[in-house]
Amino acid sequence: MATSIATMSTSSALGGARESASGLLAMLSEPDVTLQSHALHKLLEKINVLWHEVAEVLPELESIAEESTHPARQVAAAVASRVFFHLEEPVQALRLALESSEQHFDVVRERQSPYVTCLTGAAVDAYIKKKQKQTDELSAEQEDDDESSLDLVKLQKVVELMLERCFADGHYTHALGVALEAREVDKVKQILERCVASCEPSKVQATLKYALDAASSHQTASKKFCEQVLQILVVYLEKQISSQLYKAEASIYYCQANQMLRNAPPVSQMITSLLNGPQTDILLGLQLCFDLVDSGDQNFVHQVSEGISQEHTAAKRVLTGGFVSELALSFLHKNSDSDKLIMENLKKALEERGAGRNSVLHNCAVATHAYLNAGTTNDSFLRDHLDWMKKASNWAKFSATASLGVVHAGHTTEAMSLLEPYLPSSPNNEEGENQAVSATGGFAEGGSLYALGLVHGSHVGSSWEKRKEACDFLRQHLRASHANETISHGAALGVGLTAFGTNSLEVINELKELLYTDSAVAGESAGVALGMVLVGSGAGNLQNSINSTDKEEIAELLTELKNYARETHHEKLIRGIALGIALMNYGQEENADATIEEMRSDRDPILRYGAQYALALAYCGTGSNKAIRILLHTAVSDVSDDVRMAAVIGLAFVLYKTPERVPQLVKLLLESFNPHVRYASCMAVGIAMAGSGDTESIALLEPMLDDMTDFVRQGALIGTSLIYMQQSDSCNSRKIKSFRERLSSIVGDKHQSTLTKMGAILSTGIIDAGGRNCCLDLGSRNGFTKMNSAIGLALWLQHWHWYPMMHMLSLALTPTSTIGLNKDFQYPKNFEIICNSKPSSFAYPKRLEEKKEEKKKRVETVTLSTTAKNKARLARKRAKEDAELGGGAAPMAVDDKKEDEDEVKVQVKTEGEESMDIDAVEEVVVDIEEKKSKKKRDPEPTSHRLSNPCRVTKAQAEVCVFDLKQRYCPIIPNEKPFGVIMLTDHTPEEEEDLGTVKAPSVESEDEADAPEPFEWTPPDHPDLQIDTTSSEADKEVVKAPE
């Protein structure tokens, strides 16, 4: 002991010497507790300097800390904790810090120190994991052994202190984040109460918005917990509505929260109260109606509409009257930038190489035409090339007829007249008896029924009444056409599209009858249609949204479907049922886990295939870590290529709200030995990054364009075209232009395989879809997942197995329009939006130019300065020679230009002047005297204004702002300028320049205008008055020739 004290004294005396802990560490071995305590206190003071030496005695320190009778055990724990902190083991440091007293681990006073900051973070993480484990959302494997040894009560005390610190600093969102991740509803309520009581309204609004966004994301929380949080938020948001300053935003958040809870009556009441208020409230109510329709949940929109009285005709027109569909149709029709030369060149390329006889490529070309003109009603190319269309036969004819439904999507008022030439005759005769349906043929008829469904089902805001009329018409043919599977196939798909999300038991029973006919083709469409009718209902799950009266019957139906899928030998039937079940579980999250797990564990690969889509749709847009983990595991472990392919594509659905994660996840899968996985990876990247023009994603897919497998090249082409949707020619350093040229060259290359050409043809239509005014977008402006788009995309991907599913892309295409409307639903033409970007950044791509044969023209010769002198000299010489010979004739100009040129050339060489080849010089094209200097281009402006209505892409909306100084301003100024915007008029007394939304007519727009009104009297009528006032001069105007 004396030696140790001497060592300490020596070290202290030598001021410049390096400090050492050896003496203090030696004291820890002494039996005297007083010396140990003295050493521990000294070590605690110098621990940040001497921790590397103290680390050698960590076991001794921990043993002292575990002795309950030792007076300095808390100090020993504090010393050991700090050593572990420096060793970068925060969990061990936290374990020992919790054993020390608050004097050594003060979360409040020492909050700025790195030590406390680190351990507080570790405490919060450990607390969250323990609370999640209690709610069975975290498996035991995910919790570390070190974390399991931590005391929950002590952790909770640290977290409580940290929350108090957040309250003191006004960081309520930080506290909310911890409470939400820890799944503590009581703490969420407590934090919101503290915030409302002590903060200003703007901060309360921001905190409520943060909580709403967190609850709607569902990324880590269960659906049940999120619903509990939303119920709390609804109460506080309802109070915020009374504040006039934040009424608009609070009303929007209130409706969003209730929509997530599937609670329609409060939304109806909110909209009704706004519609009964002043002008600004009416506009706000109408804006809420447009936002509801934009979310794509048609069943919920219908429930809200039923709660609004008939006197509010404007709101009813928006919700279920089809006005939103009329807006989209009018915009796509008037603003279409579809290039007719694209189809002309495609048709020519296919015919030149003899590919026009290939039914697959011809079918794809027809689908491409539908994509290019989706929703524009422009079918002039098909009308001009009817002979080309007639090449389609059998199922290709079915698909070609159905493509009209994509072109005329949303044109519900004229749907029956447009498709009348193709629709089957009425199933009932004049006496009301059923007519027998032929068992063969019917491809055009079946395709027309499918087209009718596409017309009414493609747009989310189509008229509910028109949709029901079409559904009743299709059901008649569905019941009468069991003998003909082609017509039944089209009728079933049409019924599914028109009865989308209605949960109608009558329709379900009719489709079930068709399913049980054991027809493979008709049964597959029946299974898919059942899924569309029950989409998002969770049929068969313990918790679902089906009415209590039909719940048991529909649950029994689902059990029958599963049993039937296991008994039948038709793969198409099994696939139809598997996809139908997947659609039913859309948005169900953990409620669908039991059904998904049952399908995932089935021996049949087709049912496992359906399970991947069920998982992707159930967790669509949630970013669920659990769903991602299952999909990735299946992508690398399942024995079926189709199942692995579906699992990889499912990642794009789950992560579409954070699309940049998809390329990161599938980067290694793109190098997989399995071509199906590579194909799916290309499609997943394309779907996730659709319309972004992302250069990194393009770089990932670029090598896949030259893959050795043809269908992988197809996936790379389609994926790249999805990313390039609505991109200008300047995108990606103008590489988009070379990609377009590559598509054309692949179609015309006789060495390319059919599947690769198929990808190039479809990509040609996708990249310019909807007249270059549509994009693939699964999310609405307010963050909801569009049910229509998600289901349409999932069904479109089934074209891998069944080509007519290509037309389902029509459901997923979203018009990228922005239109400002006044209270009368007219658009002010002088309303403008400021775009803080160069016009070329978001301009339409340049149209193709028709190639003309270049005729060779004779080049105009250049007149040299020496030529005139030589001609004059030659003329003088001739005159002199003629004079010497006695000729008196004056010299004449030489007519033959070539002779002149030859003589000039000779003269130049004989005169001994500088030798020149005049013939070579004459080949120069440019005339120096007439050449005009090129004007320099004016620099492109850095911003420009967009008129009303206009195309605004998703990326463009980020750089667009409202000009709040103009006459018309949006009712919600903070919203993005995208979609339908209700406008207030600051100077209503001034004259307005308004435009009216008009749906396109079936008749040709090139017809001459009607003549001015006039009265006509027959020649023999007594009231006929003959004009006799014409002058004689008028009669003498025309004279006979002399």
Considering the entire predicted model, what is its pTM? 0.83
Give the bridge partners for 946, in sequence order: 833
- Within 10 A of 911 (CB to CB), how many other CB atoms are there? 11
Q: Where are the alpha helices (DSSP H) in 28-72?
A: 33-54, 58-66
Dihedral of the CA atoms 393, 394, 399, 400 (nearest 10)? 20
Residue 1020: the pLDDT is: 65
Residue 274: the pLDDT is: 92
Q: Residue 183: pLDDT above 70?
A: yes
Q: Residue 1006: pLDDT above 60?
A: no
Q: Residue 930: pLDDT above 70?
A: no
Q: How confident is the model at residue 147 (pLDDT cuts 50, 70, 90)?
A: low
Give the span between the Cα atoms of 979 and 727, in whole angstroms. Answer: 19
Q: Residue 674: pLDDT above 60?
A: yes
Q: How confident is the model at residue 96 (pLDDT cuts 50, 70, 90)?
A: confident
Of the candidates 543, 545, 526, the one whose C-alpha atom is nearest the C-alpha of residue 535 is: 545
Range in 249-263, 438-452, 760-774 with the lowest mean pLDDT: 438-452
Q: Residue 100: pLDDT above 60?
A: yes
Residue 6: the pLDDT is: 36
Residue 800: the pLDDT is: 92
Residue 1040: the pLDDT is: 41
Locus of tokens 């709200």: 657
Give the span between the Cα atoms of 424 and 412, in whole angstroms. Answer: 18
Domain count of the chain? 3
449/361 same-domain check: yes
Residue 510: the pLDDT is: 92
Of the candidates 371, 363, 364, the one whose C-alpha atom is nearest the C-alpha of residue 396 is: 363
* pLDDT digits 0-9 by tens, 403-415: 999 999 989 888 8
477/336 same-domain check: yes
- Please answer whether residues 122 and 131 qualify as being in contact, where contact means their C-beta atoms are separated by less than 8 angstroms: no
Residue 141: the pLDDT is: 47
Between these two residues, 430 and 678, which has the higher pLDDT value? 678
Is 571 within a domain? no
Of the candidates 496, 386, 485, the one whose C-alpha atom is nearest the C-alpha of residue 452 is: 496
Question: What's the one-letter identity of residue 566?
Answer: R
Between these two residues, 901 and 507, which has the higher pLDDT value? 507
Q: How confident is the model at residue 585 (pLDDT cuts 50, 70, 90)?
A: very high
- Please answer whether residues 300 and 500 qualify as being in contact, where contact means their C-beta atoms are separated by less than 8 angstroms: no
467/362 same-domain check: yes
Residue 1036: the pLDDT is: 42
How many angstroms from the chain centroid is the CA of residue 257?
Answer: 23
Is 243 within a domain? no
Residue 46: the pLDDT is: 80
Locus of tokens 């120096």: 928
Q: Residue 839: pLDDT above 80?
A: yes
Structure tokens at 226: 């999120």
Pairing of strands 979-985, 968-970: antiparallel
376/495 same-domain check: yes
Give the span between the Cα atoms of 664 and 685, in whole angstroms. Answer: 9
SS3 call for 144: coil
Between these two residues, 216 and 279, which has the higher pLDDT value? 279
- Within 10 A of 716 (CB to CB), how many other CB atoms are there? 29
Give the span between the Cα atoms of 629 and 146, in whole angstroms. Answer: 24
- Please answer whether residues 372 and 814 qualify as being in contact, where contact means their C-beta atoms are separated by less than 8 angstroms: no
Give the bridge partners for 428, in sequence order: 434
Q: Residue 926: pLDDT above 70?
A: no
- Please answer whether residues 654 and 621 qualify as being in contact, where contact means their C-beta atoms are separated by less than 8 angstroms: yes
Mean pLDDT of 572-577: 94
Give the span between the Cα atoms of 913 and 591, in whole angstroms. Answer: 100
Dihedral of the CA atoms 608, 704, 716, 350 (nearest 10)? -120
Question: Which of 450, 479, 500 corresponds to the end of one domain?
Answer: 500
- Please answer whether residues 836 and 942 qualify as being in contact, where contact means their C-beta atoms are separated by less than 8 angstroms: yes
* Residue spans of beta strands (DSSP E) within 565-721: none
Is 832 within a domain? yes
Give the span between the Cα atoms of 200 and 825, in whole angstroms. Answer: 37
Pairing of strands 774-776, 833-835: unpaired
Residue 877: the pLDDT is: 77
Phi, psi for 969 (deg, rounded to 5): -130, 150
Give the span between the Cα atoms of 616 and 643, in whole angstroms. Answer: 13
H or E segment to which residue 348 belongs: helix 340-352
Mean pLDDT of 220-226: 78
Is the preceding omega at residue 949 within 30 degrees of 0, hence cis?
A: yes
Residue 142: the pLDDT is: 53
Residue 1024: the pLDDT is: 57
Question: What's the one-letter identity of residue 945?
Answer: R
Query: Which residues fall within 8 angstroms of residue 571, CB to CB, at 6 or more apart?
Result: 520, 606
Q: How confident is the model at residue 17 (pLDDT cuts 50, 70, 90)?
A: very low
Domain of residue 974: give its range: 826-845+940-996
- Please answer whether residues 594 and 629 qualify as being in contact, where contact means their C-beta atoms are separated by less than 8 angstroms: no
Give the span between the Cα atoms of 286 and 273, in whole angstroms. Answer: 12
**How is residue 374 annotated by DSSP?**
T
Is 692 within a domain? yes
Give the span between the Cα atoms of 236 and 267, in whole angstroms. Answer: 15
Q: Residue 1004: pLDDT above 90?
A: no
832/752 same-domain check: no
Give the span between the Cα atoms of 371 and 804, in whole angstroms. Answer: 13
Give the span between the Cα atoms of 684 and 680, in whole angstroms. Answer: 6
Q: Residue 371: pLDDT above 90?
A: yes
- Please answer whether residues 73 and 80 qualify as being in contact, where contact means their C-beta atoms are separated by less than 8 angstroms: no
Residue 1018: the pLDDT is: 66
- Within 10 A of 615 (CB to CB), how many other CB atoms are there? 31
392/479 same-domain check: yes
Mean pLDDT of 958-985: 89
Pairing of strands 813-815, 774-776: antiparallel
Give the span between the Cα atoms of 713 and 756, in whole angstroms. Answer: 6
* pLDDT digits 0-9 by tens, 65-81: 787 777 778 888 888 88
- Please answer whether residues 874 and 891 qualify as being in contact, where contact means their C-beta atoms are separated by less than 8 angstroms: no
Give the span between the Cα atoms of 337 and 788, in whole angstroms. Answer: 25
Q: How confident is the model at residue 888 (pLDDT cuts 50, 70, 90)?
A: very low
Mean pLDDT of 926-945: 63
Of the candidates 527, 558, 443, 456, the one whose C-alpha atom is nearest the C-alpha of residue 490 is: 443
Question: Which of 500, 523, 550 corresponds to the end of one domain?
Answer: 500
- Please answer whether residues 713 and 759 qualify as being in contact, where contact means their C-beta atoms are separated by less than 8 angstroms: yes
* Mean of the per-residue pLDDT values of the chain: 82
Of the candidates 627, 643, 449, the one whose C-alpha atom is nearest the C-alpha of residue 529 is: 449
- Please answer whether residues 873 and 981 qualify as being in contact, where contact means their C-beta atoms are separated by less than 8 angstroms: no
358/474 same-domain check: yes
* pLDDT digits 0-9 by tens, 236-275: 888 888 777 778 888 899 999 999 998 999 999 999 999 9
690/838 same-domain check: no
Is 776 within a domain? no
Residue 366: the pLDDT is: 94
Dihedral of the CA atoms 128, 133, 137, 138 (nearest 10)? 90
Is 725 within a domain? yes
Question: Which of 478, 500, 522 corresponds to the end of one domain?
Answer: 500
719/839 same-domain check: no
Phi, psi for 82 (deg, rounded to 5): -70, -30
Structure tokens at 132: 């999640």
Query: Which residues fall within 8 angstroms of residue 297, CB to CB, at 6 or more apart?
Result: 259, 501, 536, 784, 787
Query: Which residues fall within 8 angstroms of residue 237, CB to CB, at 6 or more apart?
Result: 208, 212, 250, 253, 254, 257
**How is residue 435 annotated by DSSP?**
P
H or E segment to which residue 944 belongs: strand 944-946
Q: Residue 645: pLDDT above 90?
A: yes
Burial (0-12, 13-18, 19+ Cβ within 10 Å), 497: buried
Is 702 within a domain? yes
CATH of the domain at 416: 1.25.10.10
Mean pLDDT of 779-797: 92
Query: Which residues fall within 8 angstroms of residue 2, CB to CB, at 6 or more apart?
Result: none
Residue 36: the pLDDT is: 77
Of the candidates 632, 630, 691, the one whose C-alpha atom is nearest the C-alpha of residue 656 is: 691
State the SS3 of 71-111: CCHHHHHHHHHHHHHHCCCHHHHHHHHHHCCCCCCCCCCCC
- Please answer whether residues 374 and 404 qualify as being in contact, where contact means their C-beta atoms are separated by less than 8 angstroms: no
Q: Residue 355: pLDDT above 80?
A: no
Residue 906: the pLDDT is: 39
* pLDDT digits 0-9 by tens, 587-621: 888 889 999 999 999 999 999 999 999 999 999 99
Structure tokens at 946: 């967009």
- Please answer whether residues 815 and 774 qualify as being in contact, where contact means their C-beta atoms are separated by less than 8 angstroms: yes
469/382 same-domain check: yes
Query: Which residues fall within 8 angstroms of residue 892, CB to CB, at 6 or more apart?
Result: none
Of the candidates 528, 604, 529, the one whose C-alpha atom is nearest the C-alpha of residue 571 is: 604
Is 1021 within a domain? no
Range in 79-88, 629-638, 671-680, 922-931 with the lowest mean pLDDT: 922-931
Mean pLDDT of 670-680: 94
Q: How confident is the model at residue 529 (pLDDT cuts 50, 70, 90)?
A: very high
Handedness of CA 191, 196, 201, 205 (dihedral sign): positive
Q: How confident is the model at residue 226 (pLDDT cuts 50, 70, 90)?
A: confident
- Please answer whether residues 764 and 743 qualify as being in contact, where contact means their C-beta atoms are separated by less than 8 angstroms: yes
Range in 119-128, 179-188, 1024-1033 with the lowest mean pLDDT: 1024-1033
Give the span between the Cα atoms of 647 and 582, in whole angstroms. Answer: 13
Give the span between the Cα atoms of 810 and 370, in whole angstroms. Answer: 9
396/480 same-domain check: yes
SS3 call for 951: strand
Q: Residue 737: pLDDT above 70?
A: yes
Range in 52-56, 459-463, 882-886 with the lowest mean pLDDT: 882-886
- Please answer whether residues 755 and 798 qualify as being in contact, where contact means their C-beta atoms are separated by less than 8 angstroms: no
Dihedral of the CA atoms 849, 854, 858, 863 (nearest 10)? 20
Residue 859: the pLDDT is: 59
763/830 same-domain check: no
